[in-house]
Amino acid sequence: MPTQSAPAQPSSIWQHAAWPALTFDAPTLAPSLDLARLAQGKLLGLLDAIGLGQAQEVRRELWVQEALATAAIEGQQLNLESVRSSVAHRLGLADAPGHDRDVEGLVLVMQDAVDNCQTTLDLDRLCRWQSALFPGGTSGLTRIAVGRLRDHADAMQIVSGPLGREVVHYTAPPSSQVPIEMHKFLDWFEATRPCAGTTASLHGIARAAVAHLWFESIHPFEDGNGRLGRAVVDMALAQDLQAQDLSAAAGQMRVFGMARQMLKNRAAYYDALNLAQRKPTLLTDGSGVNITAWVQWFVLALIQACAMSSGVVRQAVDKAAFRLQAAQCNLNLRQHKVINRLLEAGNTELGGGFLGGMTTEKYAKITGASKPTATRDLTDLLAKGLLQVQGVGKATRYAVNVPGWHQPTTPQP
């Protein structure tokens, strides 16, 4: 008698009978969720403390960084000035929007997700978001389905590696199954929306983690799923803040910096998603899929993101104090220009810093001054305590002397 082969084990999270009942161990996550809530509060408190004008500038810069990061995770490099122009327009700091349609579309999606977070997230809205990401109907040079769910017969796979040696990380549900999967997801997202004055059945931060994994596991569109999935995270976190009667803070949600943190730890982000999607753990009674490990990764990433954003806020305060000090030192226009360049380069601990440090040659090139004039200007800035110096002779490097800042003052190889 022929031997019957054992049934194939599900290789993707959506193939399990318990899908999409995603669950986690709340007691295990409670300490991390409390720390995340504390980190959010500290960051929002810092923004409140620095004054409206300065806080607006910080929010703009953090939104710019979020837009650049969420695109960079997908390998898309946006023009920095185009992003700054578009964000400034959305914040009312500039009259006209930018001219880069790809940038405008992404920034508009990010704005809608947060500013209109209480408007129902339905399929039409998601399709309009996806259309905004691809205004020309193409991804690179490839034409894609825009403004509608994917409908191709080929498997939707997440792959990496060179052509011919691709590694398949995950296979999403077939296109024919996507409409019903999205119906379930959107119904859940609306049913679990936190409301002010009521006790939520699901912690708002954990809900954002569940939503991201669920959306990415469906992978409903031909392209843009990562950026849209992170917009869903933004929306969920903004809804969570509003439910805590922090209505004014909800518009500041982008300052949490989840996309920047995901980009910074992109390999760990992908690994955590892939582990949850490819090797899910079922509850002992088979009634649900245990995603505690994924939610824990997400919550810890949010804590780290808030800490990084808090550093950016403090850096803004440092810059303002230093500019006030410099304003009292009777600097010439050349010195003001270089000091501003060094301040804008920022603190290396936050990913900034003037590469290689300032030199006499760089000073002369930036200002158009002769080398003797550059040397006199730098010596004067050093004497006034506005610069610090390292090295001697040709190895001399200068950095802005902001207390607590770390900057590269050694030559780069």
Among 58-67, 233-242, 247-256, 273-282, name the one with the lowest average pLDDT.
247-256
pLDDT of 252 strictly over 80:
no
Domain 329-400 has CATH 1.10.10.10: yes
- pLDDT bin (cut points 50, 70, 90) of residue 412 is very low
Q: Which residue has the higher pLDDT, 70 or 349?
A: 70
Q: Determine the average pLDDT of the residues in 384-394.
A: 89
DSSP state letters, 214-256 = HHHHH--SSS-HHHHHHHHHHHHHHHHHHHTT-HHHHTTGGGG
- pLDDT bin (cut points 50, 70, 90) of residue 6 is very low
Separation in Å, CA 394 to CA 22, 187, 246, 349, 373: 61, 66, 54, 26, 17
Taking residue 211's Cβ as centre, other Cβ atoms within 10 Å add up to: 22
Taking residue 93's Cβ as centre, other Cβ atoms within 10 Å add up to: 13
Query: pTM for this one?
Result: 0.84
- Helix or strand or coil: residue 92? coil
Q: Which residue has the higher pLDDT, 219 or 96?
A: 219
| Residues contacting residue 148 through CB under 8 Å, at least 6 positions apart | 127
- pLDDT bin (cut points 50, 70, 90) of residue 7 is very low
Beta bridge mates, 389: 398
Hey, where are the domains in the chain?
13-313, 329-400
pLDDT of 175 strictly over 60:
yes
- Helix or strand or coil: residue 139? strand
Select 13-313's CATH number: 3.50.30.50, 1.10.3290.10, 3.30.60.50, 3.40.190.10: 1.10.3290.10
